[in-house]
Amino acid sequence: MRISNFLLVALCSFTITVSSCKKHLHHITSPDGAIEVAVGTDDGHVYYTVKKKGQLLLDTSFLGFQLKDGPFDHGFEITHITHRSFSDRWEQIWGEELTVENNYREMQVDLQEASGKSRKLRVVFRVFDDGLGFRYEFPEQPNLQEFVILDERTEFNFAANNQAWSIPYGSNYYEALYTRRTLHELDTVCTPLTIQTTDSIFMALHEANLTDYAAMNVMSDGKTNRLKVFLTPWSNGDKVRTQAPSVTPWRTLVIADSAGELVLSRLMLNLNEPSKIKDTSWLRPGRYMGIWWDMHMGRYTWEVGPKHGATTENTKRYLDFASKHGFSGVLVEGWNTGWENDWTQEGDQFNFTAAYPDFDIEDVTSYAKRKGVVLIGHHETGGAVGNYEQQVDSAFAWYQKHGVSIVKTGYVSPLLDGVERHSSQYGVRHFRKVIETAAKYQIMIDNHEPVMPTGLQRTYPNLMTQEGVRGQEWDAWDPAGGNPPDHTTIIPFTRGLAGPMDFTPGTFDFENPIYPQTRVETTLAKQLALSVVLYSPLQMASDRLESYERFPDAFSFITSCPASWAETLVPHAAIGTHITVARKDRASDDWYIGSITNGEARQLTLPLDFLDDNVPYQLTIYRDGPQADYERNPYDYVIEERDVDATQTLTLHLARGGGAALRFHPLSP
């Protein structure tokens, strides 16, 4: 929604007609003047450069396409240049802060082939104080109607061989460990790609508003700093099938002076369209739990049988516990027919309105309503999207009839329908269809095995959260032993930049009877802190009920922690070593902090100047105990209370693989 009191639209707009632009540069700067983008042509090839405070970040980087009927990347003349400025502030329905500043300067570059078909192309640049985005537009024209893109020749030619954190292209569902390499050492990698220069400028390369297009990856030639776009292809090699008029997603580059500023950038959201859902009253963030971890531990099964988890009786047990502890929902996986078969090979046997005999949907949802808890539905497709699309309308209508307003979707198969990649245009089209259909039935979506998020939650805020990350489930069955301690100190600066992630923190049980060599490699206090550090408006407490009953005092932090925030700060940030995140509750004046470290113990100093002046607060801190260690003693934690105010400074002692979770509650005078 817009806040009219702050609306300052189209501060200036003017057009320049260009008669001859060869090697003539056109410039645009950010509103604060720090970031400068220059655009020009070199022998008919269009290129751009990027500087910050005079320092070159991107050298000559060429633009264009290879179409099925030939190249569309040279022979251009710049015919018009249009400049525009925009300033606005908009309110998030849910998110990491209440309001978002959206201030940019825009330059529209109109291109036309000087000979031949005289086809037209437009490149639009928007430059913000924290980075830039640009996209291509294909105007309606007689010589470019339906066409196929075989290659997008967009380049990002970095000025130095910087360090970068990435995961390989082809990682199933983006569930891989991020590694640090130089640009020269990269192969083909997914975005977001996070980059640090030698003089500590941080950049994040990604995309925004991925609509009816293939997801962007980038590839290196292994010799230079020049990265080129690699679009996820269809199975026949086509990248994008489209027609004019149309636009591409925005190619985005966040530019920051610290790692913490990367986390706070909302550039990607600003490059998506405002909400298309007019009535948003049914969109409710919350914390939930589920019949889930016991399946990974082998105590329950998804399929019907003697150890079936999704029974009416067991679901009511979870609903009772959730109601007692203030959770908004309970996820139930394995309730519908189809799990009894080898669904990873034959996902098309799933029926999304047929329950197993031991699960009574009407009884369960009526009971949930009486308890004030929402049943969270589950649609595992096994990647058979054709089967799912045939049922999706009736399945969502069936859920709506029974009062189910949240659905977790899953696509556990490397290829959709056994043919196409998740991040291909085929997959992008399917995921959008599901989101739009869900909105029609007022259903919120938690999408697992997705295409990498690109800020679409602004336009469709029922897309609450997504996976696309190596989450906590890997701590149950990973043959290599589980997520290493530094994993959660990296993903806030990489995958987390793409949007909310359903990592599912909150595991208290560090024993694994099925795979003894695999375990959660954190302390219990760090598990609490992850509820604040890793953002999701639908935040799952991952463990079984019995684990939480063992540690009720520690569990109280999870049950009190909100899932939507009014303000977010990052007091400490170093990629791969530690991060501290402070968030203010939307529904109160309480502040919550999560601070975590990698496999090394460390001490951090935390000034409390973010608190309101002249207001006393009660601080409850859940921290690692003196003997805490993620390998030797993960259960050692201490809970303390004291009164504090904005003038004070805390010292946080984080154990190896540890953390601290803090709650500040203002006291009445």
Residue 196 pLDDT grade (very low, low, confident, very high; cuts 50, 70, 90): very high
342 contacts: CB under 8 Å, gap ≥ 6:
none
Element housing 113 (H / E)? strand 99-113
Q: How far apart are CA 598 and CA 601, in angstroms?
A: 8
Let me know whether 293 and 255 are in one domain: no
Domain end point (choices 555, 582, 599): 555
Domain membership of residue 417 (yes or no) is yes
Domain end point (choices 209, 237, 270): 270
Determine the pLDDT at residue 343: 67
Determine the pLDDT at residue 58: 98
Q: How far apart are CA 142 and CA 152, in angstroms?
A: 22
Element housing 426 (H / E)? helix 425-440
Let me know whether 18 and 96 are in one domain: yes
Q: How far apart are the first and last CA of the chain?
A: 36
* Max CA separation in the chain (angstroms): 78
Q: How far apart are CA 111 and CA 197, in angstroms?
A: 33
Domain membership of residue 576 (yes or no) is no
Is 21 within 8 Å of 109 (Cβ atoms)? no
pLDDT exceeds cutoff 70 at 227: yes
| Residue 333 belongs to domain with CATH number | 3.20.20.70
Let me know whether 430 and 534 are in one domain: yes
pLDDT average, residue stretch 535-553: 97
Q: Which amino acid is at 505?
A: P
pLDDT exceeds cutoff 80 at 7: no
Domain end point (choices 524, 555, 586): 555
Let me know whether 337 and 486 are in one domain: yes
CA-nearest of 136, 80, 144 to 118 is 144
Let me know whether 93 and 143 are in one domain: yes
Let me know whether 306 and 401 are in one domain: yes
- Give the total number of structural domains in the chain: 2
The β-bridge relationship of strands 591-597 and 602-607 is: unpaired
Domain membership of residue 562 (yes or no) is no
pLDDT exceeds cutoff 60 at 567: yes
Q: Sign of torsion, CA 39 41 47 52?
A: negative
pLDDT average, residue stretch 366-372: 98
Let me know whether 195 and 301 are in one domain: no
248-294: pLDDT as tens digits: 999 999 999 999 999 999 999 999 999 999 999 999 999 999 999 99
Let me know whether 435 and 503 are in one domain: yes
Is 201 within 8 Å of 254 (Cβ atoms)? no
Range of the domain at 448: 286-555
Let me know whether 220 and 264 are in one domain: yes
Domain membership of residue 583 (yes or no) is no
Domain membership of residue 601 (yes or no) is no
505 contacts: CB under 8 Å, gap ≥ 6:
472, 527, 530, 531, 534, 539, 540, 541, 542
Residue 24 pLDDT grade (very low, low, confident, very high; cuts 50, 70, 90): confident
- Name which residue leads in pLDDT, 378 or 4: 378
Q: What percent of the chain lies above the pLDDT cut of 90?
A: 94
| Residue 34 belongs to domain with CATH number | 2.70.98.10
Is the full-model pTM beyond 0.85?
yes
pLDDT average, residue stretch 142-156: 98
Determine the pLDDT at residue 8: 38
CA–CA–CA angle 302, 306, 311 (5° rounding): 55
pLDDT exceeds cutoff 60 at 93: yes
CA-nearest of 43, 38, 37 to 23 is 43
Let me know whether 296 and 360 are in one domain: yes
Calculate Rg over the CA atoms of the chain.
25
Residue 346 pLDDT grade (very low, low, confident, very high; cuts 50, 70, 90): low
* Catalytic-role residue among 97, 333, 473, 521: 473
Determine the pLDDT at residue 1: 38
Domain membership of residue 155 (yes or no) is yes
Domain membership of residue 376 (yes or no) is yes
Determine the pLDDT at residue 345: 67
Other beta carbons within 10 angstroms of residue 643's beta carbon come to 10
Domain membership of residue 613 (yes or no) is no
Let me know whether 316 and 242 are in one domain: no
Determine the pLDDT at residue 20: 39
Residue 10 pLDDT grade (very low, low, confident, very high; cuts 50, 70, 90): very low
Is 367 within 8 Å of 328 (Cβ atoms)? no
Let me know whether 189 and 49 are in one domain: yes
Q: Sign of torsion, CA 92 96 98 102?
A: negative
- Active site (annotated) includes residue 473: yes
pLDDT exceeds cutoff 60 at 590: yes
